[in-house]
Structure 1
Amino acid sequence: MITVAIAEDHVSLSDGLQLFLEQETDIKVKYTATNGVQLLSKFKEEPTDVILTDISMPEMNGIELCKTIKSQYNSTKVIALSMFDNSGAIKDMINAGVDGYVLKSSPLIDLRQAVRDVFNDQNYFDVHIKEQVEEIQSQKLKKNLLSRSEREILQFIAKGLTSQQIAEIRGSAISTVNKHRKNMIQKLGLSGKRELLEYAMNQHAHSNS
């Protein structure tokens, strides 16, 4: 039996999801909540195998809920159920450790499949966001290639700082900063400084907005 908890601030939708999922003999919705704080309170008393969560909710949104669950109960699977198909929301959930992402506009059978897939240690991402997910995961892998110093310099580059300004802030030589720039260009497979700037701005655009 797959046990499920639902965090969704629209009660009618939450009730509908529960009715649909419980038509299956192998799925049981243990409880629902209208925000992340309420769900966490219930979850501590009665953990479930899978959590379905909306992203936009009062008090604690789905991103923070996912981060908390993954940091304290890593074996629990989390699926984002959202109307948002933009890369920013998807990236935030992936970075939070989400196991699946289903659009509210998709058929309910997709959600049912997502529950079963993540329970069996497989990720499930809605077919309509496949390209965004692949791009985000690719960028994440590339970023993991960078050292801590390179990631720090990348943040400064995203803010439009020159090598001299970065060197002054870090208390290092300009040649050291330029060497890190060159290494990042090689590691990320970029053609030069312009592409490095574009990459840096793209990586940090959401966090700086």
Structure 2
Amino acid sequence: MLQKKTDIAVVIVEDHSIVVEGLCSILQNAEGIRISGTFMDGGSALAFLDANAVDVVLLDISLPEMSGIEVCKAIKAKHPDTRVIALTNHTEKSVIREMLENGADGYLLKNTSKKDLISAIFQVLDNQFTMNSEVQKILFAPSAKSTDVPRLTKREKEILQLVSEGATTAAIAAQLFVSPQTVETHRRNLMQKFKVNNSSALVRKAIAQQIIQ
């Protein structure tokens, strides 16, 4: 169980002052919690964490300069014991997954109740992952297939998979026993079908549409 602690040091990273004021109002009246600082951007928060011990960071995802996902990754790389709770309005499954993959200890929506917010702070310090039931439903719901998913030939699927694995045109050609020109033709056709301009965007969109893993 979580050991009793006089003050849990909490930092808020949020670029909307009205949200910051609301969070401060809630947490200032919560027993055992101390607000160590509030920051409008990730860079300032990271500089503060380098000089101060912080227990929990409440982190928005939409921030200027660095996204909350990047900030979370940086916090976990340098301060692995600091707990990070995403506090956001983002409900896209891909965003939730990316935040969790980068080390977030919890994911809450901004409509979270005062009671649940305070409870979440104590839960993550007790090594429990926390998220809203609404977020759970989004994360674990079967993904609906998008109506604009392009139809691919078997060969296009093979090439797309190899592109996603970082294979070069020459390597793909050798593996599939076709010419490099044929590979490039398929690659161009794939980019047209997915309406993107480069291979990186092609792979990202194919993953988002669950065509490749």
Contact 2:162 2:172 in 1 (8 A): no
Match of 2:145 in 1: none
Give SS of 2:25's match: helix
* Deviates further, 109-118 or 127-136: 127-136
**Matched residue of 1:79: which SS?**
strand
Instruction: Check the 8 A contact 1:156/1:166 in 2, yes or no.
Output: no
Cα distance in 2 for partners of 1:19, 1:13 equals 10
After superposition, the CA RMSD in angstroms is 3.3
What is the aligned-residue identity percentage?
31
What is the identity, as a one-letter code, of the residue corresponding to 1:74? P
User: What secondary structure, in the 3-state scheme, does the structure 2 residue paired with 1:60 have?
Assistant: coil
Give me the whole-angstrom Cα distance separating, in 1, the residues matched to 2:122 and 2:61. 21
Cα drift, residue 54 of structure 1: 0.4
CA distance in 2, matches of 1:49, 1:121: 12
Report the count of equivalent residues: 164
Q: Distance in 2 between matches of 1:115 and 1:101?
A: 11
1:27–1:160 CA distance, 2 compared to 1 (3 A):
closer
In the TM superposition, 1:21-100 aligns within 5 A as: 21-100=27-106
Q: Distance between the aligned counterparts of 1:158 and 1:131, measured in 2?
A: 32
Q: Is the contact between residue 102 and residue 110 of structure 1 (CA under 8 Å) also seen in structure 2? A: no
Q: Which residue of 2 aligns with 1:144?
A: none
Q: Deviations over 1:130-162 (max 9, x none)?
A: 1333469xxxxxxxxxxxxxxxx999328699x
Deviation sequence 1:75-118 (CA, Å, 0-9, x none): 11000000111102101101111000110122222211111100
Paired position in structure 1 for 2:153: none
d(CA) in 2 for partners of 1:154, 1:118 = 42
**Would you say the 8 A contact 2:89–2:110 is kept in 1?**
yes
* Contact 1:158-1:201 at 8 Å conserved across structures: no
Distance in 2 between residues matched to 1:52 and 1:203, nearest whole Å: 32
Of 117, 131, 139, the match for 1:125:
131
**Is the 1:102–1:126 contact (alpha carbons within 8 Å) kept by the matching residues of 2?**
yes
Tell whether 2:13 aligns with 1:7: yes
Instruction: Flag the structure with larger Rg.
Output: 2
Whether the 8 Å CA contact 1:2–1:27 is kept in 2: the answer is yes
1:178 is matched with none
Higher helix proportion = 1
Q: Normalised by the size of structure 1, how large is the TM-score?
A: 0.68
Of 199, 202, 207, 1:204 maps to 207
Unpaired runs of 5+ residues, structure 2, are 1-6, 143-156, 178-202
TM-score normalised by L of structure 2: 0.67
**How far does residue 60 in structure 1 lie from its aligned partner after superposition?**
1.3
Distance (whole Å) between structure 2 residues aligned to residue 27 and residue 50 of structure 1: 10
Match of 2:161 among 157, 161, 172: 157
